[in-house]
Amino acid sequence: MSVLKDKTIVLGVTGGIAAYKAAEIVRILIQRGAKVRVVMTRNAQEFITPLTMQTLSQNPVATDTFSLTQESEIGHIRLADTADAILIAPATADVIAKAAVGIADDLLTTILLATRAPVAFAPAMNVNMYAHPTVTENLERLRSRGVTIIQPAEGELACGYEGKGRLPDPAIVVDEVERMLAPRDLAGERILVTAGPTQEAIDPVRFISNRSSGKMGYAIARAAWRRGAEVKLVSGPSSLVAPHGVERIEPVSARELLDATAQNFPWSTALVMAAAIADFRPAKPASQKIKKSASGMALELAPIADEMPRLAARKGNRIVVGFAAETENLDENAHDKLRRKGLDLIVANDVTQEGAGFAVDTNIVTLIAADGSAENLPKLIKDEVADAILDRIVSIRSRKPRSRSGGAVIRRAQGSHRRRS
């Protein structure tokens, strides 16, 4: 279930050219289950109409502190009190400055002073304006009060300049709001996730692979970042977009994926091996394209060494999670892999079940822990399965000593933090 399900998000739209992107932000917020109330400054209405925002949000748009009709129907204090989060997007230098020093001269800035909800600002402005010391100081002042500052993107700006100052993609803005509202129970964890298939070359134009799409691993990486972890994603070839906030490493072959995992293992506090790594590779890949022959082709395969037991043997206080995608004897094979590879948890699924195979958005899994406990999950979307796996990591961590590997102490902050501007 989305973090935003049934949450009331107050979206403040200010007067910048990026105001047109606020319409897409509203659409994504609603798509993820939120209720959206829009507040527009006078200047914002020069760029996009309240009617557009009202139509998309399916709620009246608040624009004027002193409108008797709006005040009776909406009420600035009621907006401040009922908000689960407040997002200012785009946030101009003007509204950032007012919020930083506590000026409340319009409806939006009044709501910012009255609210006790978490607040996020998404700055969008000219590159030189964004780099101005005053703007930098004002953003730092807001950040010191617990306000989330969503970093602007770099690129070509509407004013013709190139640089940092663009409002990020609306989906990224909404991702940041989700992270702000999500429990921070993985704060301090450094989670290394593997995902996707590997490709083993037959010749320069052909390879052998498997049906994995990477969706499960990407969902885990996305959910771990949302819950406060630092995340690295070691992904085999996949058409999926890298989750926002996650560092993606892109090997191709099983050997490359295993090497990248081993190299980053010392950095991690938890490893989740969701990748479908090849068990075999062509013994003698050809240096040139193999020509078609009526007699066919015999392909000799060599085994690929399993690195999981070696990594698990030096895991220390790290948590190691594996996957067992099976077509028969699920329970027996999963328990054998759990024991043989020295895992803390294994995620087992029968890929012959409808809704549990490759390249689908759902999964049906059993979570089996090293202590013998098992949990059968119903068919869930992979984002929900990801959170269930991470819940088990949090539970396992509570029974393990805190790790100091890599020079960082594991710190967990339970629940979302309340912020005010």
Q: Output the 3-class SS for 98-152.
A: HHHHCCCCCHHHHHHHHCCCCEEEEECCCHHHHHCHHHHHHHHHHHHCCCEECCC
Residue positions annotated with a catalytic role: 159
Centre a 10 Å sphere on the Cβ of residue 179 and count the other Cβ atoms it contains.
20
DSSP, collapsed to helix, strand or coil, labels residue 44 as: helix
316: left (phi over 0), alpha (psi -120 to 50) or beta: left
Asked whether the beta carbons of 234 and 192 are under 8 A apart, the reply is yes
**What letters, b where the CB count within 10 A reaches 16 and e where it falls short, cover 137-153?**
ebbebbeeeebbbbebe
Nearest Cα residue to 194 out of 278, 72, 127: 278
Asked whether the beta carbons of 84 and 10 are under 8 A apart, the reply is no
Which residue's structure tokens are 């066919």? 296
DSSP, collapsed to helix, strand or coil, labels residue 67 as: coil
Q: Is the dihedral of CA 200, 318, 408, 144 positive or negative?
A: positive
Nearest Cα residue to 214 out of 234, 232, 228: 234
Q: State the Rg of the chain over Cα.
A: 25
